[in-house]
Structure 1
Amino acid sequence: VDENQHQFSQEFQLSWVGDRLTAVGGLFYFDETDLTYSGLLGPAIGLVTGSINDQHNRSWAVYGQATYAVTERLNLTAGLRYTSEDKDFARTQTLYPAAPTTVPGRDDPGVTLTDLDTSANWDSLSPKVGLDYAVSDDVMTYVSVSRGFKSGGFDGRANDADGAQPYDPETLWAYEAGIKSSLFGRRLTANVAAFWNDYTDLQLSSFTSDGSGGFEALFTNAGAATIRGIELELAARPIDGLTLNGTVGYLDAQYDEYIGPGGTDISDQRELVNAPEWSTRLGAVYVADLGASGRLTFGADAAHRSKVYPTVSSSEVLAQEGYTLVDAFVRWTDSNDRLSVELGGKNLTDERYVEQGFDLSDSLGYQLAYFGAPRTVRLTAGIRF
């Protein structure tokens, strides 16, 4: 594979800070070209498969956001961003006769299998509105509504012209409300947030049969999904040198619409990828001052996730049941912060868990699982100059 990529981006920004109004606005431009040559020699058939992917992406945006202090405690924020994107994609796949080289363009042309030359453009308007109110000097509440999007594009991994058709941008409406607090002389920090995210034209990457006995990995717009939940964060400093922290998250994630390969809605048969219903983390860090001898830092944390599905197909074979990871470390640092030595361990209970999976059962007849790292212990030393 030989890839040549060039990118250029430029942004101009203007900001304003007044007595009650702060604002920022700007212009953004992005230009990218990507030319990829790939070749594969097939000894059994004596052919060289050559592929040339040529992509050109252009994007520009204009944006502005302002925050106005309605009162000493109440702030109103409003923003808007307009984005325009143009993408061109051309691909040529050719079979070359067996030859001394396997680089497309250096051998005599063979049989052209696929020749694509297409383009697409998208526009997006992304507003944001928010309010925050300081209940006291230590407690603040907020609400916000915003719209975001993920760029569309072309799937150069497709085996044929149908698979390489453009997929649309993914759009999101995000609603959030929460409370942030710092209490008891900043010895306790407590934050809670509730959110509701509505996705449309949800982009998913999955493996599917290409109709000729092979398989291809494609991005598609499956449909719509809703993710709502609540998060709680706590950090306490009960004594000097000791910090205790914990987080709890609850998710209710579901597909509202999932159009499968046959054109039918299979949302009731699918679970969102890597969306655990419950996730928690507990940790502690203690710093012991040794005076002229430096300091010792002790740390440990445990993180738990409930059952997750690592594949778009929601394969039960690859599904990972709930698991907990435990890490810990001890670090010595000299009094000048120049020298350090650390002994640490990851996954100390040697938990075996699926980190990533690929469901190829519809094409190749098997499924792949990649497991997370086992128990690891490390000893490191550092010096700062």
Structure 2
Amino acid sequence: MQYTLRHIAAAIALATPLLAATSLANTIEEIIVTGDFRDIELQKMPASVTVMTAEDIERRSAQHLEQLLALAPNVNFSGGSSRTRYIQIRGIGERSQFASPINPSVGTIIDDVDFSGIGSAGTLFDVERVEILRGPQGTRYGANALAGIIAITSTAPSEDFNGYVESMVGNYDSWSLGAASGGALTDDLLYRASIQQYKSDGYVDNTFLNRDDTNGFDEFTLRTKLRWLTSDNVTIDTSLFFIDIDNGYDAFSLDRDGDTLSDEPGQDTQKTTAISVNADWLISSKLNAQFIASYADSDLQYGFDEDWSFVGIDPENEYSSTDNYIRDRKNSTLEAHLLSGEEGRIFGGSTDWLVGIYFENRDVDLKREFLDFNTFTDAQLSSDYQTQNLAFFGETTTALNHRLSLTIGFRVEQWDADYKDSSAVILDTDETLYGGKVVIDYQVSDDHLLYASLARGYKPGGVNTDGTLNQAEREFDTEYQWAYEVGNKSSLLDDSLQIRVAAFYNDRQDMHIKDSIIPVGGPGAFVDYITNAAEGSNYGLEIESVWQATDALQLFANAGLLRTDIDECDTAGCIDLVGRDQPHAPRYQYAAGLKFDVSEKVFVQLDIEAKDEFYFSSSHDAKSGSYELLNAQMGYESETWSLVLWGRNLTDEDVETRGFRFGNDPRDGYTTHTYVQLGEPRVVGLTGRYKF
């Protein structure tokens, strides 16, 4: 079946340009990118960007961000939790978090609220679009965007009253029920509100407890958005939302057969209340001002049965423990920037400009409950990690002539971090970080754009807290990255065919590498810590294409090629990694598919996604398997209601999202094995929607 799926995908990809040569033109709807300072058409933005719309979300029947990511070239994610918390772009990004604080490489922004490092909040009900900006976003987002940014935007308020009610049922006792509506409360005040509950038993059977829901999902999302048109020149958008995730976590099988034996299954929960305010003030035709403020309070609890078994499995050799992490995270941001209007350009009207200031405060209190393997007694660790960063940024875009433009951006960021814990570990860092970009783009014609860019990104260093580490292993330094990119964006056949191509090379300096040690007396435990390698490189190619062949037929094909290396290493722990691929960096990914409207109301859709094998970690050589997945939909849509039968991973392939290599089974003397967490198996369901 894998052989067959590869050839189907190849046929779809090849058919796009070949059939387009003989087809009638059908214009593709324009897509606007909003994740940068100024809104810009996707085909005009000189950067590698993927935008997934509400229609893409509906087509995949996606409940969560992790079910969309395969559409984006060179974007991967890791398991180790019930939902995707950690994302990798072009092979760069974290894979897990335990006691040590982390500063994310990939930022996650939801309605102007920073959720970087806790992507589990990425529920997708009533979401308008998801944008993935690849490469360092040093000017716009700074410290949280070494590899890129993911921006999720829920549906905006509208003047016309509209809404829908949606329900889904599926296998694994999955169901959801949600409703959304929007319209005008007054002439000057618009609203949008949505609410959804999603539940599923999950995909794991716990044979010891005779339960099938220990790795299940229970996710509630409530959003409210208000748009206040205070005057012709001022608009204030307010987003208020509440997310309550109460998922189980029981993912690793001691017998390596997919079934678990845990007697104390874990949990992965999040309760977040968040608010953001975005005020846009058109001061004059020369000047525009924007102010953004946000606040989020998140209670997070993540824990698991550390021995993956039950008391009595091997009385002579067993151990029994759980590991539980309870975090209270509060973060607030303030941003203000001024942008030139059409009549406010400088240098003879050739140059758009902007300047701004940004402040963020993040405070994370941790309480860890665990088994101390030195004394084999219950223990606790409490810590407080507070970061503050103040940034100044600016950007100019100069029209060198009517086709050639030059963009220069910079960001200077003062980063302060304070850490202290109950083990008397104290860290106080204070550093100034620099980033930015230079982009030159050439508009060959209205339909063809060429660009080249150089960007500098950064990710602050930090502290390691787990285990008995020497002083040299307690801290690690800031990572810097120089990113080079060239690309082309073309619209062909009267805008019925769009192609976007980007080639990139990232030079990573003082690259962060995660290593681990196994403490004495702890057969099932390991201690993660982060160190710096001297240098690494990530390079590759990204291609996205969509073709509206006829009014009834649309095809797409996306692909990513990636090579990653650890070029040099100046620490003993990673000498053996020189020349090896970096973790969670598959050498290829692709997604291809088609949607065919059988009639005005009936459609079918088929798509395929694939991913190469990749190393799970830099601390061992275990790899995932490669895979090809088949997804399909068939539905009926009228003006007021729709009914869609859908399925993902229809061939029921194993998708390995996280892996460890160590001994954890007392029955075989703790012999080393590779243990993996599996992603979504074959899932099928029926979704109905009534629109009003």
TM-score w.r.t. length of structure 1: 0.83
* Structure 2 residue identity aligned to 1:150: K
* Structure 2 residue identity aligned to 1:357: G
| Offset at residue 159 of structure 1 (A) | 4.5
Query: Does 1:340 find its partner at 2:642?
Result: yes
Single out whichever of 201-210 and 64-73 deviates more from structure 2.
201-210
Query: Does 1:383 find its partner at 2:669?
Result: no
| Offset at residue 263 of structure 1 (A) | 5.3
Aligned to 2:662: 360
Query: Does 1:141 find its partner at 2:450?
Result: yes
2:427 and 2:638 mapped to 1: Cα distance?
Answer: 61
Change (3 A) 1:46 1:328: closer
| Offset at residue 39 of structure 1 (A) | 4.1
Contact 2:567 2:579 in 1 (8 A): no
* Structure 1 residue identity aligned to 2:334: Q
| Offset at residue 211 of structure 1 (A) | 5.9
| Offset at residue 56 of structure 1 (A) | 1.7
* Counterpart pick for 1:16 among 316, 333, 340: 340
Single out whichever of 189-198 and 280-289 deviates more from structure 2.
280-289
1:115-134 correspondence to structure 2 within 5 Å: 115-134=424-443
2:659 and 2:486 mapped to 1: Cα distance?
Answer: 34
* Counterpart pick for 1:49 among 379, 385, 401: 379
| Offset at residue 319 of structure 1 (A) | 1.5
Single out whichever of 342-351 and 119-128 deviates more from structure 2.
119-128
Aligned to 2:416: 86
Unaligned runs of 5+ in 1: 93-113
* Counterpart pick for 1:313 among 608, 616, 619: 619
Aligned to 1:106: none
1:140 and 1:196 mapped to 2: Cα distance?
Answer: 20
2:573 and 2:608 mapped to 1: Cα distance?
Answer: 43
Change (3 A) 1:54 1:309: same
SS at match of 1:186: coil
1:272 and 1:58 mapped to 2: Cα distance?
Answer: 30
Contact 1:157 1:164 in 2 (8 A): no
* Structure 1 residue identity aligned to 2:558: T
Aligned to 1:179: 488
Query: Does 1:4 find its partner at 2:306?
Result: no
Instruction: Please state which structure has a larger fraction of its residues in strand.
Output: 1
Aligned to 2:531: 220
SS at match of 1:56: strand
Change (3 A) 1:159 1:9: farther
Aligned to 2:545: 234
Deviations 1:316-374 (A, max 9, x none): xx3134321111112322214xx222111111111123221123369984432112221
SS at match of 1:265: helix
Aligned to 2:249: none
Higher relative contact order (CA 8 A, sep 6+): 2
2:473 and 2:327 mapped to 1: Cα distance?
Answer: 19
Contact 1:257 1:266 in 2 (8 A): no
1:80-119 correspondence to structure 2 within 5 Å: 80-92=410-422, 114-119=423-428
| Offset at residue 70 of structure 1 (A) | 1.1
2:514 and 2:376 mapped to 1: Cα distance?
Answer: 33
SS at match of 1:10: strand
| Offset at residue 240 of structure 1 (A) | 1.0
* Counterpart pick for 2:633 among 323, 329, 354: 329
* Structure 2 residue identity aligned to 1:9: T
Change (3 A) 1:117 1:250: closer
Change (3 A) 1:2 1:373: closer
Change (3 A) 1:48 1:361: closer
Change (3 A) 1:331 1:144: same
Count of residues paired in the alignment: 354
SS at match of 1:271: coil
Contact 2:489 2:500 in 1 (8 A): yes
* Counterpart pick for 2:502 among 186, 193, 216: 193
Single out whichever of 210-219 and 2-11 deviates more from structure 2.
210-219
Change (3 A) 1:232 1:77: same
SS at match of 1:255: strand
Deviations 1:20-74 (A, max 9, x none): 32222111111122222344588xx795523220222111110001111111111
SS at match of 1:275: coil
Change (3 A) 1:340 1:54: same
| Offset at residue 234 of structure 1 (A) | 2.1
1:225 and 1:365 mapped to 2: Cα distance?
Answer: 29
Change (3 A) 1:41 1:143: closer
Unaligned runs of 5+ in 2: 1-324, 665-669
TM-score w.r.t. length of structure 2: 0.48
Contact 1:90 1:115 in 2 (8 A): yes
SS at match of 1:71: coil
2:573 and 2:326 mapped to 1: Cα distance?
Answer: 37
Percent identity, aligned pairs only? 27
Change (3 A) 1:364 1:129: farther
Single out whichever of 205-214 and 83-92 deviates more from structure 2.
205-214
Deviations 1:164-191 (A, max 9, x none): 7222222111101111100111111122
2:326 and 2:430 mapped to 1: Cα distance?
Answer: 27
Contact 1:279 1:305 in 2 (8 A): yes
1:49 and 1:380 mapped to 2: Cα distance?
Answer: 47
Contact 2:404 2:440 in 1 (8 A): yes
Aligned to 2:462: 153
* Structure 2 residue identity aligned to 1:274: H
Query: Does 1:37 find its partner at 2:385?
Result: no
Deviations 1:232-277 (A, max 9, x none): 22221221121111123222221112455x3562234632112222
Contact 1:229 1:252 in 2 (8 A): yes
2:358 and 2:462 mapped to 1: Cα distance?
Answer: 19
Single out whichever of 150-159 and 234-243 deviates more from structure 2.
150-159
1:382 and 1:264 mapped to 2: Cα distance?
Answer: 53
2:538 and 2:507 mapped to 1: Cα distance?
Answer: 7
* Structure 2 residue identity aligned to 1:375: R
Aligned to 1:72: 402
| Offset at residue 226 of structure 1 (A) | 0.8
SS at match of 2:463: coil
Change (3 A) 1:39 1:138: closer
1:132 and 1:41 mapped to 2: Cα distance?
Answer: 57
Change (3 A) 1:198 1:217: same
2:589 and 2:367 mapped to 1: Cα distance?
Answer: 43
Change (3 A) 1:6 1:229: closer
* Structure 2 residue identity aligned to 1:76: L
SS at match of 1:349: coil
Contact 1:163 1:218 in 2 (8 A): no
